[in-house]
Amino acid sequence: MTQRDYYEILGVDRGADQETIKRAYRKLALKYHPDHHPDDPQAESLFKEASEAYDVLQDPEKRARYDRFGHAGVNGGQGFSSTADIFSHFGDIFGDLFGFAGMGSGRSNRPRAGDNLSYNLELSFRAAAKGGEVKISVPRQIPCPECEGSGAAPGTSSARCPQCNGQGRVRSSRGLLQIAMPCPRCRGTGRIIPNPCPRCRGEGLVDQIRELAVNIPAGVDTGNRLRLRGEGGPGVYGGPPGDLFVILRVADDKEFERQGQDLIWRREISMIQAALGDSIQVPTLDDPIDLAIPKGAQSGQLFRVSGAGLPYPGQNRRGNLIVELTVLTPTHISSAQEELLREFARLEEGKTLNKAKKVLKKAGQVMGFE
C-alpha cells in the first residue's frame, strides 16, 4: 500500500519549522483522537497517520533521512511499533498545550533562573528628593552551605527515583489517552534523597537575611522600582539567581505638595503686604530664598522659581517651585484701624468719582457737547 507524504498529511510545507509542525499535529491529533470518535475506524486511521508523520518530522535526524530517502529511510516505512508510541507523542503535545512545562524526559532537570523577589521600601520625602545610599535587610533563601545545595547529607548523594525510574514523570491512562504527569515521589526531578541533609532537611536551601545597599536616585516617587540583578531567589539546577525589585513608597512632606517634579508651597500674606508689596522668605530643598511680592498681589496668584523643584532621576535637570499666595482679610480690627480703612474707602470712592467725571467729560467732547 502506498504511503502518503508526511508533509502532506500534516498540511505543512517541506521547509516548515518545528513549531509549525507541532501546531499542525496538535490540531489533527485533537480533531481525530479516538476518544472523540469511538468506534470510528477512519478517525483512528487518520489519527495514527498524523502521529506517524509527526514522529518523523519532529525528530531532526529522522526528518533528514526522510527528506533524502523517503519512507524507506525511516523505520523501513513501518511507522510506529505500538499504540503506546503514538500516545507518547500525543501526551507530550497535550502537556505543551495545557502548560505542563517540564514534563518531558529530563526537562525538569534543566537549569532554571530563580524567582524574582520584591521588597517594599519606605522613604521620607527629603530622602527621596536628595537620593543616596540606603541599607536594607532582605530575607531570602540560598543554597545550603552544609550540602552545597544538593539536599543530601555530607558524604551521601541523591539516588534515581524508583517510582519514575529517573524520568521525572509518570503516565496515567484515560481510556486510550495517556497523560504524562510529574512524579509525586520526586516531584518531577527524577531523583530522591535517601539521607537528607540535617541542616536544610533535604530542601537544599536555607533562610538568610542579606544586607544590601540600594542606591536611590534623587527625585524618585512612589511606585518607582529599582532592580537589583542577581539578588532574588536562587537558581534551580545551576541556573542563575533571580532579581530583586525594590518598590518605593515616598512619604508626604509637611511643607511642600508634590506635582510630578514640581513643588507647590503656599503662603498667606496680609492685605497690606498684598497692596504695598513685600519680600518674603521661601523655603527650598536647599537654602531658603527671598521672593519679591509686587504691589497689588492677588489671592491665588502664582510665582515660579525655576529649577528649585525635584531632580528628574538620572537627568541633569529639575522641576520648579511654585509659590501660591493667599491674601488674608483681617477679622478683628481696632477702632483706629477701622477709621483708617474708612478713610481709605473714601479716598477710593473719590478716585472713582473723579475717574467717572473724566470719562463723561471726554465723551461729551467726542459727541460735540463741549
The answer to whether residue 120 scores a pLDDT higher than 70 is yes
pLDDT given for residue 190 in this prediction:
85
Between residues 166 and 359, which one has the greater pLDDT? 166
The string of pLDDT tens digits covering residues 246-290 is 999 999 999 999 999 999 999 999 988 999 999 999 999 999 999
**Contacts by residues 344-351 (CB-CB < 8 Å, ≥ 24 positions apart):** none
Range in 126-130, 158-162, 259-263, 288-292 the model is least confident about: 158-162
Structural contact between residues 256 and 125, judged by C-beta atoms closer than 8 angstroms: yes
Task: Categorize the per-residue pLDDT at 297 as very low, low, confident or very high, splitting at 50, 70 and 90.
Answer: very high
Which range has the top average pLDDT, 120-124, 171-175, 191-195, 358-362?
Answer: 120-124
* Of 45-59, 68-82, 118-132, 189-203, the least confident: 68-82
**Between the CA atoms of 331, 336, 342 and 345, what dihedral angle is there, to the nearest 10 degrees?**
-80
3-state secondary structure 99-167: CCCCCCCCHHHCCECCCCEEEEEEECHHHHHHCEEEEEEEEEEEECCCCCCCCECCCCCCEECCCCCCC
Q: Tell me the torsion sign for CA atoms 289, 294, 296, 297.
A: negative
| Mean pLDDT for the stretch of residues 111-123 | 88
For residue 48, pLDDT beyond 60: yes
Residue 81 has pLDDT above 50, yes or no: no
CB neighbourhood size of 154 (10 A): 12
pLDDT over 90 at 90, yes or no = no
Alpha carbon 246 to its chain's center: 11
Average pLDDT taken over every residue of the chain? 82
User: What mean pLDDT is predicted for residues 180-197?
Assistant: 84
Band (203; pLDDT cuts 50, 70, 90)? confident
Closest-CA residue to 184 (of 171, 173, 195): 171
With cut-offs at 50, 70 and 90, classify the pLDDT of residue 33.
confident
What distance in Å separates the CA atoms of residue 216 and residue 327, rounded to the nearest whole number?
Answer: 39
Predicted confidence at residue 79, as pLDDT, reads: 47
**pTM (two decimals):** 0.57
Residue predicted with more confidence, 185 or 260:
260
* Pick from 15-24, 42-51, 88-97, 264-273: least confident: 88-97
Q: In the chain, pLDDT over 70 holds for what percent of residues? A: 81
- Alpha-helix residue ranges (DSSP H) falling in the chain: 6-10, 18-32, 41-57, 60-69, 83-97, 125-130, 271-276, 335-367
Distance CA 338, CA 325 (A): 25
Range of lowest pLDDT (34-43, 72-81, 159-168):
72-81
319: helix, coil or strand? coil
How far is it, in rounded angstroms, from Cα 322 to Cα 250? 20
User: How far from 139 is each of 81, 104, 145, 207, 209, CA to CA, in Å?
Assistant: 54, 34, 17, 7, 4
Measuring CA to CA, which residue among 317, 312, 321, 257 is closest to residue 284?
321
Q: Mean pLDDT across the stretch 38-42?
A: 79
Q: Is the pLDDT of residue 223 over 50?
A: yes
Residue 350: per-residue pLDDT = 73
pLDDT of 204 above 80: yes
pLDDT of residue 143: 87
**pLDDT level of residue 352 (50, 70, 90 thresholds):** low
